[in-house]
Structures are given as structure tokens and as C-alpha cells.
Amino acid sequence: MKYGYARVSTIHQDLEVQLRQLEKENCDQIFSEKFTGTNKKRPEFQKLIGMLQERDTLVVTKLDRFARSTQDALEIIKDLFERNIKVHVLNMSVIENTATGRLIFTTFSAFAEFERDMIVERTQEGKMLAKQNPDFREGRPKKFSKQQIFHALSLLENHSYKQVEDMTGISVSTLVRAKKKSKAEKITTKVSI
């Protein structure tokens, strides 16, 4: 049988392109997940690897979907070759269980790991540069200003959480967190006085 595997690293990324490529390759069954490749314990991938039998083919669109580190990729490919399972990386071709096939696979795995490391390095450099800006705030930007939150909290004195959410667009969970934070700040202020 021919099994496909598609993976993206975050829930915000889309699997559609990979799934279409695997369908085009006539995979009998396709496994997919949104899970970081740096984690070896990818549940769908582990399930797929456990199902593969002799003469099956594992199809992935790119090498970095298969494994992110060269060491991990070599361990997986060695296991698959020992079990007489073929590996087809669409942007590379079928990886043969020959000296040349293993050399090519090792080389491409090293380049995939290098590319990932370069992305991480560039991201860290960008973050360090951004942190030099005094207005830098790590994480997602706040959707609502302090004034908007304060106004919504004042509305809670005469309205329900749901009514305030409808009036301001600020979710109930955000309102609850803001109210708890406001109470904690008031307690801290009283204690320090």
C-alpha cells in the first residue's frame, strides 16, 4: 500500500497543498497533523510508522515534513529500509536502499536541518533587533487599549458579562481576566500603602 504523510508546524498553517499533492500520487491512505517537526512524538506520524508493512511506500511532499533533524531522519529511514519499506519524497524522488540512495538522503537531510537552523537564527536575530526598540512587546499585540478595558469594566457595574461583550466586542473571558487583574492590582496597592 501507499501511505501519505502531511504535516504543518502550527495550527495557523494550511495542509491543503500537501494533501492535494499526496492525493495526486494516488496514496491509499493519508495521515496529516499540525504538529511541530522538532518534536519526535508526532502522534499521527507514529501511528503511520507503526502501520507500515513490508513493501509499503511512505510518501511525503518534502524532506522537512518527514524529519527536521538529520539524526532523526537517518534513524527513521534506517528503520524503514530494514523493514523493506520504500520512501518517496516528492521533491527528491524515491529514496533507494543503496549506498548512493543513503548518501543522497543524508546530504539532503543535512541541508533540511541547516535550512531550519538558519530560519531559527534569523528569527532570533530579528527578535534581538526588535527588543532594542523601547516600545517592543513580546507576544501578540493587545487587541484592546487600557481605556477600552477600563470602560468595559465600568459597564460591568450595571450590565452582565454577555451584555458588555455585545456592547464592546470584548470577550467574556478577556473581561473576566481583566477584572481579576484589576482586583489583584487594587489589593497590591492597598497592601503597599
Under 8 Å between Cβ of 22 and 4: yes
Please identify which of the residues 9, 32, 93, 145 carries the catalytic annotation.
9
User: From CA 164, how far away is CA 156, in angstroms rounded?
Assistant: 7
Length in residues, the chain: 193
User: From CA 94, how far away is CA 143, in angstroms rounded?
Assistant: 48
Exposed e or buried b per residue across 82-121, where buried means at least 16 C-beta atoms within 10 angstroms of its C-beta: eeebbbbbbeeeebebeeebbeebeebbeebbeeeeeeee
Separation in Å, CA 124 to CA 121, 130, 173: 5, 10, 32
In sequence order, the 6+-apart residues with CB closer than 8 A to the CB of 53 are 1, 83, 85
Q: Is residue 69 flagged as an active site residue? A: no
Which residues are known to be catalytic?
Answer: 9
